Chain A
Amino acid sequence: MRHYLIEASYFVASILFILGLRGLSHPETARRGMHLAEFGMLMAIIGTLMHQEIVSYEWIIAGLLLGSAIGTGIGLWVPMTAMPQRTAFSHAFGALAAALVGISEYSLHGANLSKFTMGAIGFDVLLGSLTTTGSLVAFAKLQGMLPGRPMTYKGQNIFNLSLLGVIIVAFVILIFHPGATALFYLMAVLSLVFGVLLVLPIGSADMPVVIALLNAYAGLASAAIGFAISNNVLIIAGTLDGGSGFILSIVMCRAMNRSITAVLFGAFGKVSDVATSAAGGTMREANVEDLAPQLAYARQVVFVPGYGMATAQAQHAVRELSTALEEAGVTVKFAIHPVAGRMPGHMNVLLAEANIPYSQLYELEQINPDFPATDVAVVVGANDVVNPDARDNSSSPIAGMPILEVDRAKSVVVLKRGSGKGFSGLENPLFTKQNCEMLYGDAKESLTQLTQAVLKV
């Protein structure tokens, strides 16, 4: 009887998870969907607590309370600009939880495991361990605790691949000899090391792909645990999470015209400047007094936010300027590149936080035909996603990457901290074009000054 109740709770939870994710296909149904998923999770937890193997509840209650406290704290107080770090951190936690369940299963049954179960536990521990450390490195990079530049050394790829080879050999041996305890723990430790080495050489600009990939691995680790303890809701939820991560990494790779292998082994960002088009001409510096009337008398202004907007926390200042312009009768739109920021959808969340309605946000394909009819394109801390070299210069390292064609607007203003290069280290010929002006300084301050000047026009 108890068994059926537990299975029924898992069954309902699976349905609710799927319905919950389906709700995310539209912003208006999204919250309701998430409430369904939350309810499903509650059902699954209550169901599990009835499990007959559970004899003591102290550690469970302690873990649930501690986890809820940490989770609520993180959930309520992490600022939206830090969302990529938070996500990387939670991948680490999820993967660690999955890996630990696998290790605990192995420590109990060890030599008696069937090939199938050993295979599942092996997958779980391998993926879980490498995702744990990989996500922590990604977290450290995003948080600025480690340099964002790719960290490379000679023979790195060969070393990493050989390490992966050793891990896989250990895994295969374990499937046939599950009793080789030392080998099992060696595999876990090597996977932890591999996770660090895998993410270290990846530069900040590629972080959206890496975060999505780690998401996929964490999900697959959960699914593998489902196989190991033959729990269907774990398989379903883990697969949904894994699938979502893979879809997102593919979307991100397409948006950069790069393959996943190139991201993992390419060490973007140490490209020599040979391939960039000669940055002839000089950059023209704009000043707030001249820009304000230009903006206020424009018919259409398009904002292009990038990671710089997030680091400057300038989303509210953007919103103030856009409101001032709208009051002056200007049509204001926002152009969002899929890889702007450090994770999928990063810019959308920041603009939503600043109270900008999502009907004003446009995707790449929607907004590009609109640029020739745009009087001023305002680039706030974006660089590579507006680099015309991707379109015009076939020898550029980012050639073929879809860009927001701001250079086709009547005029362009680039808000930038200094005259340095972008994260990919490439020259951006946009900056020296005839119709482009630079406004140097902290994006938030520049925008506030612009807003005041626009209000005076």
Chain B
Amino acid sequence: MSSQTAIATLYLFMLAAFLGYQVISRVPSLLHTPLMSATNAISGISLVGSLVAAGAQHTTLSTILGFIAVTCATTNVVGGFVITDRMLRMFKKKPAPPKEEKP
């Protein structure tokens, strides 16, 4: 990587950190558990790295490591989003009509 690119990525990191701070400070403590599972799902974006590792067929080792990484990251992405949605569906402002369903 050229030093130019390296510096640009550092800038990107810094800006993302500031933006993240601003956005996440606004999340009320009510939603801290969904926040955690949501960011968890989003950080499953490491999938983009593992997909290439699993499919590039450089060496057997890198393919195997890539396969495990794809599995783990996909578990997080799918599991994280499913569970976040399941939680968020439960948050209601007004009392729901009593006894509609028993999960």
Contact = CB atoms under 8 A, between A and B. Distances in A.
B88 A31 contact: yes
Given A37-B38, A44-B45, A100-B69, A27 B31 contact: yes
Contact of A244 (B6, B20, B79): B20
A90 B39 contact: no
A94 B81 contact: no
Interface string B1-45: 101011001001100110111011111111111111111111111
A174 B29 CA distance: 41
Given A45-B48, A229-B49, A104 B62 contact: yes
B93 A215 contact: no
Contacts of B6: 116, 227
A101 B53 contact: yes
Interface string A56-82: 110110111011101111111010100
B46 A97 contact: yes
A344 B31 CA distance: 9
A338 B33 CA distance: 11
Contact of B55 (A26, A34, A55, A100): A55
B20 to A, nearest CB: 4
B27 A25 contact: yes
Nearest to A92: B72
Given A67-B78, A97-B72, A235-B16, A34 B38 contact: yes
Contacts of A236: 12, 16
B32 A100 contact: no
Contacts of A222: 43, 45-46
B29 to A, nearest CB: 6
A265 to B, nearest CB: 24
A34 B85 contact: yes
Contacts of B20: 21, 239-240, 242-244
Contacts of A231: 48-49
B103 to A, nearest CB: 7
Nearest to A24: B27
A71 B76 contact: yes
Contact of B35 (A31, A226, A345): A345
Interface residues of A, number: 115
A100 B31 contact: no
Interface stretch (A141-149, A348-356, A376-384, A416-424): A348-356
A75 B40 contact: no
A90 B37 contact: yes
B92 A71 contact: no
Interface in A30-58: 30-31, 34, 37-38, 41, 44-45, 47-49, 51, 53-57
Contacts of B36: 87, 211-212, 215, 244-245, 248, 343-345
Contacts of A44: 45, 47-48
A225 interface: yes
Contact of B25 (A28, A73, A247, A343): A247
Contacts of B52: 48, 51, 53-54, 229
A238 B44 CA distance: 9
Given A22-B26, A232-B12, A348-B33, A94 B43 contact: yes
Contacts of B93: 27-28, 357-359
Contact of A30 (B3, B31, B98): B31
Contacts of A338: 29
In the A-B complex, the 5 residue pairs with the smallest Cβ-Cβ separation, listed nearest first, are: A67-B74, A75-B82, A71-B78, A63-B70, A345-B32
9 contacts: A34-B81, A41-B44, A59-B67, A70-B79, A90-B40, A100-B69, A116-B6, A238-B46, A356-B95
Interface of A: 10, 13, 17-18, 20-22, 24-28, 30-31, 34, 37-38, 41, 44-45, 47-49, 51, 53-57, 59-60, 62-64, 66-68, 70-76, 78, 80, 83, 86-87, 90-91, 93-94, 96-98, 100-101, 103-105, 107-108, 114, 116-117, 211-212, 215, 218-219, 221-223, 225-227, 229-245, 247-248, 251, 323, 336, 338, 343-346, 348-349, 352-353, 355-359, 361, 363
